[in-house]
Structure 1
Amino acid sequence: MNIKITGSGSYIPNRIVANADFAQHVFLDEKGAPLTYSNEVVADKFRQITGIDERRYVESDLVTSDIAFFAAQRAIEDANIDPETLDYIIFAHNFGNVKAGAIQGDLVPSLAARVKHSLRIKNPKCVAYDILFGCPGWLEGVIQAQSYIKSGMAKRCLVIGAETLSRVVDPHDRDSMIYSDGAGASIIEGTDDEGGILAHETASYTYDEAYLLFFGNSYNKDHDEDIRYIKMYGRKIYEFALNRVPQAMKECLETSGIDIKDVTKILIHQANEKMDEAIVNRFYKLHDMVTPERVMPMSIHKLGNSSVATIPTLYDLMLKGQLDDQVLTKGDIVLFASVGAGMNINAIVYKI
């Protein structure tokens, strides 16, 4: 038996926010002082580093569990299954449901329970739960689903990655321009078809790295001190990712027994174009190779960084021919990799 993704779906919000839309923002430094250069310069440097031209935000009447439900419906339809046959619903996110204008996240009941409710699943043995694993959450959910299926505890799982980061960003922090909203979902099940998950790797670095991404106060010192926003030490994260992710990818590939020359695509978390390029280049350098052209598809230019949703969304778009000049076809060898808050790293080698 092989364990495969038999259906995929995604939800990309309709609201497009371009870099130019940040022109009127008042960006401040960590001490609360205005930046010494114009927002036009901020936006230009931002685009050069991250590759982001625009991102997507959800409409004000939607929350994370809503867009996850939309993606889940599409994955179920794509797999052509009865949702009552699902054994697990595993939902990766970071902040729960945050309503527009609210100052609290809503995590009770779990977002997975809400999606199960919205899908109108009656089966009580369909177990629904959330995982908080930073940006690698969807990949970790897939790894957990694989373990359930291999052990005989499940036959079919729904794994979701969804986030509405636009609700937790500090408007005075230029890093807020990175983040976006979105949802991706996949059906994971055992099958006699060739391919599937060939190997996986996961690690958590917490001794010195646990708080490289965290919740902190606004850079605007007049803001309510009890309201927190997503914050990061960008340079330290870049250095950590460059030092740790390529090695995890290498170890995962070695476990799979696949030759690096047979890797068709690398689907890496869409965090930052320059960082992702550096990670993949370092990975190939570990094998004394130059990075092949077009091996690393990117969606960040138009969709931004939607955390747990970036990889399943990218996968879905490619599989369905909706990403310009980048597709996935049966037999392709794909290396998934992600890094994020925790700090967590994981990778999967997968044959389409």
Structure 2
Amino acid sequence: MKIGITGTGSYIPSLITKNEDFLEHEFLELDGSSFHQDNGTIIEKFQAITGIGERRYAEPNLKTSDLGFLAAEKALTDANIDKETLDYIIFAHNFGDMTYGKIQGDTLPSLATRVKHLLKINNPRCVAYDLIFGCPGWIEGVIQATAFIKSGMAKKCLVIGGETLSRVIDPHDRDSMIFSDGAGATIIEASDTSGEILSHASVTYANEEAYYLYFDKTNSAKGCKDTRFIKMYGRKIYEFACSHVPQAMKDCLDKSGVNIDQVKKIFIHQANEKMDEAIIKRFYRLYGQEVPIDIMPMSIHKLGNSSVATVPTLYDLVLKGKLSDHQLKKGDVVLFASVGAGMNINAIAYRY
């Protein structure tokens, strides 16, 4: 019996924030000094590198667990299974529930428990827990769910990736324009008719790379020094990802026994358009090949970087026909890949 994805769902927030909405922001360097360029130039260069023209923010009345719940409902419907038959709910995130207007994340109880509560699941043997693994969290959750099923500990698992990064960004940091909100959910189960998880690879680099993404105070001397925001060393992350992600993807694909020519799509974490293009180019170079046309669906232009939510959301959009240039047929082999805080990298080879 194959272990695969039998249902998908996503929640795309309705609030659209365009690049021009940042024109009046006071962007500052990490040391609080001003940029020599005006905001128009900063935003123009930002879009040229990241590909982001707009992003989605969660509605004020919704928290990360709410987004995860809404995506989970769709995934359960798509899989056509009884929610009471779930053995595990795994919720991958990084900051917990960030209530709009508040400065402190909330993970008591866990977001997975909150989703179970919202779904009104009565079965106490449905175990709910959270996973913090940076942007690759959803992929790692799928890897864990697969292990549970292989071991006989589970038959059906719900894996969610969700985040509300708009509530942990420093308005004085130009990197704040990258981040967005959203959630994606998948049902993983053993089934004769499902797709099949063929192989995976996961690695963690935690020496000099450990704090490439970190929490710190605002760039503004006028801001509260006790409030922390997401920060990153963008250039270091770019170089790290381009150096290490292609090899992890190759390790994963080689373990699957599938030839590179058989890969139809690569669903890569929507972090930065130029970085993703560079990763894919280097991945194919490891096989002595050029990048095929239309191999890499992208949602970052309209949805931004929603961290752990980007890959499951992107996959759901393709399956539901929301990205007209990309389709999958039964039997197609795809790769899921991500890189993020930790610094963690992972990949899954999957036959649809």
TM exceeds 0.5? yes
2:77: which partner in 1? 77
Unmatched 5+ stretches in structure 1:
none
Question: Is 1:211 matched with 2:211?
Answer: yes
Whether contact under 8 Å (2:3, 2:194) holds in the other structure is: no
1:298, 1:211 → 2: CA distance? Answer: 27
Please say which of residues 81-90 and 27-36 is displaced more in the overlay. Answer: 27-36
Whether contact under 8 Å (1:16, 1:56) holds in the other structure is: yes
Output one character per residue of 1:12-71: Cα deviation in whole Å (capped at 9) or x when no partner.
000000000101100001111121111111110000000000000011111000010000
Aligned-residue Cα RMSD (Å) equals: 0.7
1:231: which partner in 2? 231
Question: Is 1:169 matched with 2:169?
Answer: yes
The aligned length equals 352
Report the TM-score, using the length of structure 1 for normalisation: 0.99
**Divergent runs of 4+, >6 A:** none
Tell me the amino acid that sits aligned with residue 310 of structure 1: T
1:159, 1:256 → 2: CA distance? Answer: 22
1:292: which partner in 2? 292
1:76, 1:38 → 2: CA distance? Answer: 48
1:265: which partner in 2? 265
Output one character per residue of 1:199-254: Cα deviation in whole Å (capped at 9) or x when no partner.
00000110111100000111001111110000000011011101110000001010
Unmatched 5+ stretches in structure 2:
none
Tell me the amino acid that sits aligned with residue 11 of structure 2: Y
1:307: which partner in 2? 307
Output one character per residue of 1:275-319: Cα deviation in whole Å (capped at 9) or x when no partner.
000000000001100101110110000000000100000000000
- Residue 264 of structure 1: SS of its match in structure 2? strand
- Residue 247 of structure 1: SS of its match in structure 2? helix
Report the TM-score, using the length of structure 2 for normalisation: 0.99
Shift of 1:329: 2.3
2:76, 2:166 → 1: CA distance? Answer: 27
Shift of 1:327: 1.7
Question: Is 1:198 matched with 2:198?
Answer: yes
- Residue 16 of structure 1: SS of its match in structure 2? strand
Whether contact under 8 Å (1:319, 1:329) holds in the other structure is: no
Whether contact under 8 Å (1:336, 1:348) holds in the other structure is: yes
1:341: which partner in 2? 341
1:75, 1:295 → 2: CA distance? Answer: 25
Percent identical among aligned pairs is: 65
- Residue 202 of structure 1: SS of its match in structure 2? strand
Question: Is 1:100 matched with 2:100?
Answer: yes
1:29, 1:234 → 2: CA distance? Answer: 13
Output one character per residue of 1:143-202: Cα deviation in whole Å (capped at 9) or x when no partner.
000000000000000000000000000000000000000000000000113641000000
